[in-house]
Amino acid sequence: MSIKKLIGKKIKKLRIAHGMTQEELSEKIDISQRALSSIETGVNFLSADTLDKITKELKISVSDLFYVEHLQEPDVLIIELENIIRRLKHNPIKLQEVYKIVKVILSEEKIKID
């Protein structure tokens, strides 16, 4: 997935988390709803001015907005997680920590591990 699409996806996710519609956010940052839609879908990239306004309105730092690796497609994430786990093979303490974190996440989701 392209960086434009990943950042757009994150903006949309944050906007929804803040309980805003595209129309509401676009009004607050002084761009058209169509322009915001194009940013959220990854068709267009935001300008520096729009970036500044969005990060302020959504109360997020620019660096946090650009942290999008976790928004990859599930198949890509699975490959990445498998690579991380392989790299931890020789560090049992960290591997155990990762295991515990995953178990907690799954128990919160009420997903059963066999």
pLDDT of residue 114: 43
Tens digits of residue pLDDT in 54-103: 999 999 999 999 988 888 889 989 999 999 999 999 999 999 999 999 99
The pTM of the full predicted model, rounded to 2 decimals, is 0.67
Q: How many CB atoms lie within 10 A of CB 68?
A: 16
- Residue span of the structural domain in which 61 resides: 3-68
pLDDT of residue 79: 94
Q: Note whether 44 and 15 are same-domain residues.
A: yes
**CA 55 – CA 7 distance, rounded (Å):** 12
**CA 18 – CA 25 distance, rounded (Å):** 10
Q: Note whether 59 and 91 are same-domain residues.
A: no
The answer to whether residue 43 sits within a structural domain is yes
Tens digits of residue pLDDT in 13-62: 999 999 999 999 999 999 999 999 999 999 999 999 999 999 999 999 99
Dihedral, CA atoms, 18, 24, 30, 34, nearest 10 degrees?
110
Q: Note whether 21 and 64 are same-domain residues.
A: yes
Q: Note whether 62 and 101 are same-domain residues.
A: no
Number of domains in the chain: 2
Q: The tokens of 64 are what?
A: 């946090």
Q: Note whether 57 and 22 are same-domain residues.
A: yes
User: Is 56:62 a contact under the CB 8 Å cutoff?
Assistant: no
